Chain A
Amino acid sequence: MLRQVEGSKAVADAVAACKPEVICAYPISPQTHIVEGLSQLVKAGSLPHCEFINVESEFAAMSVAIGASATGARTYTATASQGLLFMVEAMYNASGLGLPIVMTVANRAIGGPINIWNDHSDSMSQRDSGWLQLYAENNQEAADLHIQAYRIAEEMSIPVMVCMDGFILTHAYEQVDIPTTEEVSEFLPPFKPRQVLDPMDPVSIGAMVGPESFTEVKFLAHQRMIDSIAKIEEVAEDFERQFGRKTGGLLRSYRTEGAETIVLALGSVIGTLKDVVDELDLDGYSIGLVGLTSFRPFPFDAVRTALQGAKRVIILEKAFSTGTGGIVAHDVAHAIEGLGLDDLTLIAGLGGRPITIASLRRYLIDAMDGQVERLTFLDLETETVDRELVKERALQ
């Protein structure tokens, strides 16, 4: 049903429609409203076969999720920022054991300095954790991605992280069509675990693997991640057939046909960029947009195809690797090898700094005129940082 709801509520209802059997989470802004919404549904008896487990930390939340998933329960958790970092040790076990947990990351910056606002530093730090990472453009996609995530996770035996911009999406009220439990049940069959911890039929999972097999285990995990590229597309197509809308998948192109410049971005900034691209098109600029949904696995072929024919790609990222630059840009550069495209990186929206249409316009026009550095920080207060650099270097 189409409703005007907060993003967090839309996600809570979409997760509930997937009939999870165990939900465990520890509150942290901006994820809290999602788990609050789910806890209310459990308490009200709307999820009769679901156990909501209160835990004392994010580390415990992930550990309980692992235990629950290993017994064959459809399992959900959510976190953000330092909460995600506190889960990390256990996260690698979830992926290593092939447990199809679905987790929302309400994207938030990582401190210090402490900052509660949105960027992608948290989920990007888990690039190599073996979890799939799907990024939502708006709250409709955030809700839909959770439903698709369970299909992908359970069919591939890989955990999936659904990333939605903290506050910008989690706290925004917009219209979202949330499928009913019955509709979701037609799309998402009951979870059939590949291996189950059962006291009546005891087995051990997660045993030590020595040098003789560890490489093979890791190779298979890599292959499963690559195979999930096709699965993500297939599930998105199935979803579109049943629900009549295109959400999820690997990436979506917007006005890229014949475009000289293409901006590639993830998450909620795609909406703002669509408005900017429309404006610049009216002004006579040749510019398009690629919204990347799947960051892990990274769809190298799809990205290459989407960018082929352009002269320049600008990767807009809400996170970066200190001392190196763009994180997504690194993968894009690999995807476009030999195509002769210039690649520029724009770091924007760190720690919740608003990404405005005016600033994007200014930067993009300069970039198309060849007037920007390969790596740019949007709206950087250059006077301030130059002054600080002088002081710092004097002390080095």
Chain B
Amino acid sequence: MFQVRIHGRGGQGVVTAAELLAVAVFDEKRHAQAFPSFGSERTGAPVVAYCRISDHEIRAREPIMEPDALIIQDSSLIKQIDVFSGLKPGGFVIINSNESADDLLLTTKILVPHTTTILPATELAMIHLGRPVPNAVLLGAFSALTGVVSLQAVTNAITEKFKPKIAAGNVAAATAAYEYVMNQVAAHA
């Protein structure tokens, strides 16, 4: 079981990100369960959504308290709430930000060994989509960093979900994010 928690703000498509991830996993003939943390879906308010990924049927329905991966769609949340709570040692962190790890105080916030990528997902969305919606973009980065789901499955899910024009923009942005993270990883290797 691989568990993902997505943090963002109302309007950024947090729940849609979890849905897209689940559909991508389903396209790969595996099991996924995506669900929102309910009741807080107001524009700008902190929103959390979850996605479980497994080769087997998923039965448990508790919130994800010990994620294997975190997607932070809005880095301003890092200073407001404990988004890193319960992150598993060796877990993955994907952050949408123009700031550095030092600026974001990550060393003081994340207390377990982890692999992080920070990328300007909103900028990538603006370039390719023309709208500041980073959710699908970050799934491209998630695919690159974790290898848990293929970029192809992610772009398939995007294409299924959105109308052609918006889908094309999101696919381009997610692909750009995938390459961005792949280059980061190569630079570190």
Interface residues in chain A, defined as those with a beta carbon under 8 Å from any beta carbon in chain B: 3-4, 6, 30, 116-117, 138, 167-168, 171-175, 268-269, 271-272, 274-275, 352, 354-357
Could you mark each residue 47-65 of chain B with 1 if its beta carbon is under 8 Å from any beta carbon of chain A, else 0? Answer: 0000000000011111101
Contact residues on B (Cβ < 8 Å of other chain), bracket? 20 to 34
Residues of B near A355 (CB, < 8 A) are 61-62
Interface residue B94 (Cβ < 8 Å from any Cβ of A) = no
User: Given A4-B22, A173-B18, A356-B65, do A272 and B35 touch, yes or no (CB 8 Å)?
Assistant: no
A219 to chain B, nearest CB (A): 41
Residues of A near B38 (CB, < 8 A) are 30, 116-117, 167, 171, 352
Q: Which residue of B lies closest to A352 (CB)?
A: B38
User: Given A116-B39, A173-B18, A352-B38, do A272 and B23 touch, yes or no (CB 8 Å)?
Assistant: no
Question: Is A272 within 8 A of B36, CB to CB?
Answer: no
A111 to chain B, nearest CB (A): 14
Given the complex of chains A and B, what is the CA–CA distance between A167 and B91 in angstroms?
Answer: 28
Given the complex of chains A and B, what is the CA–CA distance between A168 and B50 in angstroms?
Answer: 12
Picked from A30, A171, A352, A357, the residue with its CB within 8 Å of the CB of B60 is: A357
Question: Is B61 within 8 A of A268, CB to CB?
Answer: yes
Question: Is A356 within 8 A of B58, CB to CB?
Answer: no
Given the complex of chains A and B, what is the CA–CA distance between A272 and B52 in angstroms?
Answer: 13
A83 to chain B, nearest CB (A): 17
Given the complex of chains A and B, what is the CA–CA distance between A102 and B34 in angstroms?
Answer: 28
CB-CB contacts below 8 Å: B54-96 with A: 58-63, 65
Q: Which residue of A lies closest to B18 (CB)?
A: A173
Residues of B near A274 (CB, < 8 A) are 59
Interface residue B19 (Cβ < 8 Å from any Cβ of A) = yes
A263 to chain B, nearest CB (A): 14
Residues of B near A357 (CB, < 8 A) are 60, 62
Picked from B19, B61, B62, B65, the residue with its CB within 8 Å of the CB of A173 is: B19
Picked from A6, A174, A175, A356, the residue with its CB within 8 Å of the CB of B62 is: A356
9 contacts between A and B (CB under 8 A): A116-B39, A168-B61, A172-B34, A173-B23, A174-B58, A175-B32, A356-B63, A357-B60, A357-B62
Interface residue B128 (Cβ < 8 Å from any Cβ of A) = no
Picked from A3, A174, A271, the residue with its CB within 8 Å of the CB of B32 is: A174
B60 to chain A, nearest CB (A): 5
**Shortest Cβ-Cβ A-B pairs, 10 listed:** A271-B59, A4-B26, A173-B34, A172-B35, A167-B38, A356-B62, A173-B22, A275-B60, A272-B60, A4-B23
Interface residues in chain B, defined as those with a beta carbon under 8 Å from any beta carbon in chain A: 15, 18-19, 22-23, 25-26, 31-36, 38-39, 58-63, 65
Given the complex of chains A and B, what is the CA–CA distance between A357 and B165 in angstroms?
Answer: 43
| 6 more A-B residue pairs beyond the given contacts A117-B38, A171-B35, A174-B31, with a C-beta to C-beta distance below 8 A | A116-B38, A168-B35, A173-B23, A173-B34, A174-B22, A356-B65
Given the complex of chains A and B, what is the CA–CA distance between A355 and B65 in angstroms?
Answer: 12
Given the complex of chains A and B, what is the CA–CA distance between A167 and B15 in angstroms?
Answer: 12
Q: Which residue of A lies closest to B52 (CB)?
A: A174
B62 to chain A, nearest CB (A): 5
Given the complex of chains A and B, what is the CA–CA distance between A138 and B38 in angstroms?
Answer: 18
Given the complex of chains A and B, what is the CA–CA distance between A269 and B18 in angstroms?
Answer: 21
Question: Is A6 within 8 A of B19, CB to CB?
Answer: yes
A245 to chain B, nearest CB (A): 12
Residues of B near A269 (CB, < 8 A) are 61
Picked from B31, B35, B36, B65, the residue with its CB within 8 Å of the CB of A175 is: B31
Residues of A near B36 (CB, < 8 A) are 167, 171
Q: Which residue of B lies closest to A360 (CB)?
A: B62
Given the complex of chains A and B, what is the CA–CA distance between A138 and B35 in angstroms?
Answer: 13
Residues of B near A171 (CB, < 8 A) are 15, 35-36, 38
Residues of B near A275 (CB, < 8 A) are 59-60
Given the complex of chains A and B, what is the CA–CA distance between A6 and B38 in angstroms?
Answer: 14
B189 to chain A, nearest CB (A): 34
B157 to chain A, nearest CB (A): 9
A236 to chain B, nearest CB (A): 20
Most buried by A among B22, B26, B31, B38: B38
Question: Is B63 within 8 A of A173, CB to CB?
Answer: no
Q: Which residue of A lies closest to B15 (CB)?
A: A171
Given the complex of chains A and B, what is the CA–CA distance between A30 and B36 in angstroms?
Answer: 12
